[in-house]
Amino acid sequence: MKMVTINGKQYPQVDVDYNMLCDLEDAGISLSEISNKSMSFVRAYFASCMDTDAKAAGKEINAHIVNGGSFESLMDVIKNALEDSGFFRALKESKDEETRTGEKNTK
């Protein structure tokens, strides 16, 4: 299991799967809004990793940045989690297949 370190504390990195995306939507962040609500998305993702609420995760993220940590390092963790996500890989493969099938049907 991959770990993420924030403020010297290690947390298990949470897989980005269907249930997590539903939890994010329940927290008010839909997949289509991630780029518009990047701060909220980061906080919600790390709240899940920390097994805490959004406010507590926000305090840890704030302390991480105030103490010299970078927001980019947090984004890298999420980027890697998205790239490693079996759910997103399957969606991409499905979309690629639909694109290939659509191209064959239009010829």
What's the confidence (pLDDT) of residue 106?
61
What's the confidence (pLDDT) of residue 103?
65
Read off the pTM: 0.80
Sequence spans of domains, the chain? 3-105
What's the confidence (pLDDT) of residue 25?
86
Share of the chain above pLDDT 70, in %: 94
Q: How far apart are CA 23 and CA 1, in angstroms?
A: 21
Tens digits of residue pLDDT in 7-56: 889 999 998 899 988 988 888 888 787 778 889 889 999 999 999 999 99
Tens digits of residue pLDDT in 66-106: 999 999 999 999 889 988 889 888 887 887 777 777 666 66
- 11 sits in which H/E element: strand 9-12
